[in-house]
Amino acid sequence: MELRGVVVVSVLVLCWSSVLEAQLQVGFYKNTCPQAESIIASEVRRALASYIGLAAGLVRMHFHDCFVRGCDGSVLIDSTSNNTAEKDSFINNPSLRGFEIIDNAKTRLEAVCQGVVSCADILALAARDSVVMTGGVMYQVPAGRRDGRVSLVSEVLANLPGPTFDVDQLTQSFASKGLTQDEMVTLSGAHTIGRSHCPAFSSRLVDFNSTDGQDPSLDAAYASQLKQQCPQGSNDTSLVVFMDPRSPYTLDTAYYANILQNRGLFASDQALATDGTTEDLVKQNAAAGGGIAWKRKFAAAMVRMGQIDVLTGSNGEIRSRCRVIN
């Protein structure tokens, strides 16, 4: 009897999840705001023309939004005197960039389609445009998300996978959001663009453990390069390094080749080579001819990630300003 109850509950959960996904639709704004996607794309294009590095910021922002409270735009909300919001977590600040792009798109959208396009959808679409503009494949984004009204700094650390996670921790983190291990390895490839502040990986360079000064899984020449870029004892919080020095502004499979050469920047990156299953996925992605197979997988995984715990229908709201709840 208990087993039957578990089966019934599981079926109900799966059905409800399917209902939520069904409420997201490609072309959701076709009738209510037909210019929506083109307006968002033009703002992303304008910003990236000035600095292509912002593409990584938007992709990361979408990821950090979806993993905390679902894809509800809560990462966009500003802190107030009574509440410290997600964006001001030490994990998100100063690593997240591109908030002004979302603001600019929202301002233009409100001028032509007031109260129609959610901030959560703007972010999901802007992330897609960033993928495309850095060499990824074009993919359709199901829309119809609504905006959340809660953003708590206390929820960030518990929900985002950390740069020191091992394979089991990474797998569990993604599984808790409904994503597979294959999707975890695929989405980790986003680290092929963008940059990182030194504290996220500096523990790998000095005093790694009681027996090793630096992480033995880190290529010695690469470690030496990182030590020059992130000097021990430096108080300069603005120091950053590219996560993929080969092609930091291009979405490609160099990330996986780096891992196979012990040049994964984060411990969590290099950890993918320590497990037989994930190592095989890394090798497959690294060997993908021209990277097109992985780019298609990445696009599909981004769509799946964009459906995590979405608010639809009458849930949530459509913020008039993305930084402030109505």
Residues tagged active-site: 64
What letters, b where the CB count within 10 A reaches 16 and e where it falls short, cover 194-220? bbbebebbbebbeebeeeeebbeebbe
What's the distance, CA 58 to chain centroid?
8
70 is in an annotated binding site: yes
**Cα(241)–Cα(122) distance, integer angstroms:** 28
252 is in an annotated binding site: yes
Peptide bond into 94 cis (omega under 30): yes
**Cα(254)–Cα(285) distance, integer angstroms:** 9
248 is in an annotated binding site: no
191 is in an annotated binding site: yes
244 is in an annotated binding site: yes
Contacts of 231 by beta carbon, 8 Å cutoff, 6+ apart: none
264 is in an annotated binding site: no
65 is in an annotated binding site: yes
236 is in an annotated binding site: no
**Cα(224)–Cα(233) distance, integer angstroms:** 15
**Cα(291)–Cα(279) distance, integer angstroms:** 17
- Report whether 179 contacts 304 (CB < 8 A): yes
- Report whether 301 contacts 128 (CB < 8 A): no
According to DSSP, the residues that pair with 80 across neighbouring strands are 83
Q: What does the DSSP assignment read for 238-283?
A: T-EEESSTT-TTS-SSHHHHHHHTT--SSHHHHGGGSSHHHHHHHH
Amino acid, res. 224:
S
- Report whether 187 contacts 298 (CB < 8 A): yes
Annotated binding-site members: 65, 68, 70, 72, 74, 86, 161, 191-192, 244, 252
Annotated binding-site members for substrate: 161
Annotated binding-site members for Ca(2+): 65, 68, 70, 72, 74, 86, 192, 244, 252
Annotated binding-site members for heme b: 191
